[in-house]
Amino acid sequence: MLKRALAIITLLIIGYWLAQGLAGVPFGEDRMLVGQYYLDHVKEQTGAVNAVTAVVVNYRGFDTLGEVTVLFIASTGVGALLWRRKKERTAKTEGSIVLTTGTRLLVPFVMLFGAYIFIHGHLTPGGGFPGGATIATAFLLLYMAFIVYEIPHKAFEKVEGAVGMTYVIVGLIGLAIGGYFLYDWIWQDWQWGAENIGRLFSGGFIPVIYTIIGLKVGTELSGIIDNMVKEEVSE
Amino acid sequence: MNCITCIEYIIVGIMIISAILAVEWRDLLAAAVGMAAVSLFASLLFFMLQAPDVAMTEAAIGAALSAAIFIFAIKRTQRFETEEEEKPGWWVRW
């Protein structure tokens, strides 16, 4: 009880301190310095309608590359921690008939919606990370409904590595053409889709990058799920 | 106080309650559900603060995938916390 009381008192002190700090922040006031620049120039500079994805992929593309790297390291770490010579699924009960039939019906829709999210990242909310997570949810559904289901490992690992490499290669092509890493050569030099901003075939390389990120996140999270589900079996 | 602010206060209140319950419950499966509820209400709050991108990511990662991964981890370890607080002796509790 003493420990708990001490913890609560410490937390209250820290919370009060943070609230004091936050009281000086002008919430709701028009104090945007760089934000107004993004909002004013996002269409002509990137061709995207969604300012968030333009910032994430175009203006601050290096951060996104770092996030993808973090996710890759997490996936690799889970794989390394749970590595066993022989792993199999040990679930004994199949999902109920309602669950299996519903999964059969639902999985294509979930995957289609995930692909929709990451392809339309420059037009609608979303982008690569929610799209990839939605696709991984479809694989999670398959794992939970069927006792024998396994993702095709060879194909998944190859796709994961290939799309990760493609992201860096797209950035390096920008380095070769425009002079800095992740330079948007499709938009800046080719002017591809410049006359139909707001439609699917626009947005410079944002749809390309987001398709890459969506595939990468989807395969990686599916791999993490696969590692978590399977257990060691004695030979 | 208009209606939107009212709903936001309710969501923040439910979030705080779910967070407290998530650390209080000794059944770890229930705690995972509490954590997923925090994610869900955080996602609703992001949506109400007009950040749909963040709301979608939070819903997809926090409410679906991380809860599932927690449940898989619980399935392979143990479901209940050990009841050390009921044992006698202060050296056990600390």
State the complex-level ipTM.
0.83
Whether residue B89 lies inside any domain: the answer is: no
Task: Please tell me if residue B57 touches chain A, with a CB cutoff of 8 Å.
Answer: yes
Contact A130 B56 (CB under 8 A): yes
Residues 6+ apart with CB under 8 A from A133: A114, A217, A218, A221, B57, B60, B61, B64, B65
Which residue type occupies B17? I
Whether residue B65 lies inside any domain: the answer is: yes
Whether residue A118 lies inside any domain: the answer is: yes
Q: How far is B60 from chain A (nearest CA, A)?
A: 6
DSSP A54: I
Whether residue A12 lies inside any domain: the answer is: no
Using alpha carbons, list the distances in angstroms from residue A49 to A39, A151, A189, A201, B54.
10, 36, 19, 12, 17
CA B37, CA A165: separation in Å to the nearest integer? 36
What pLDDT score does B14 carry?
A: 94
Whether residue A11 lies inside any domain: the answer is: no
Task: Please tell me if residue B20 touches chain A, with a CB cutoff of 8 Å.
Answer: no
Contact B68 A225 (CB under 8 A): yes
- Tally the domains of chain A: 1
- Tally the domains of chain B: 1
Per-residue pLDDT 10s for chain A (235 aa) are 788 899 999 999 999 999 998 887 777 676 678 888 888 888 887 878 888 888 888 888 888 889 999 999 998 998 898 888 877 887 778 878 999 999 999 999 999 999 999 888 888 888 889 999 999 999 999 988 888 888 888 888 888 889 989 888 888 888 887 766 667 766 666 666 667 777 777 777 888 888 999 999 999 999 998 888 888 776 6
Strand-pair partners of A232: A87
Strand-pair partners of A87: A232
Whether residue A89 lies inside any domain: the answer is: yes
pLDDT > 70? residue B83? no
Higher pLDDT, B94 or A220: A220
Contact A140 B64 (CB under 8 A): yes
Contacts with B55 from chain A: Cβ below 8 Å: 125
- Confidence at B90, pLDDT banded by 50, 70, 90: low
Whether residue A33 lies inside any domain: the answer is: no
pLDDT > 80? residue B34? yes
Which residue type occupies B82? T
pLDDT > 80? residue B33? yes
- Choose among A53, A72, A62: nearest CA to A205: A53
Contact A140 B93 (CB under 8 A): no
Nearest to B56 among A3, A126, A137 (CB): A126
User: Which domain range does residue B68 map to?
Assistant: 28-78
Mean pLDDT of B52-80: 88
pLDDT > 70? residue B2? yes
Whether residue B7 lies inside any domain: the answer is: no
Task: Please tell me if residue B61 touches chain A, with a CB cutoff of 8 Å.
Answer: yes
- Confidence at B86, pLDDT banded by 50, 70, 90: low
DSSP A29: S
What pLDDT score does A233 carry?
A: 76
Contact B69 A136 (CB under 8 A): no
What pLDDT score does A35 carry?
A: 83
Contacts with A137 from chain B: Cβ below 8 Å: 60, 64-65
Whether residue A31 lies inside any domain: the answer is: no
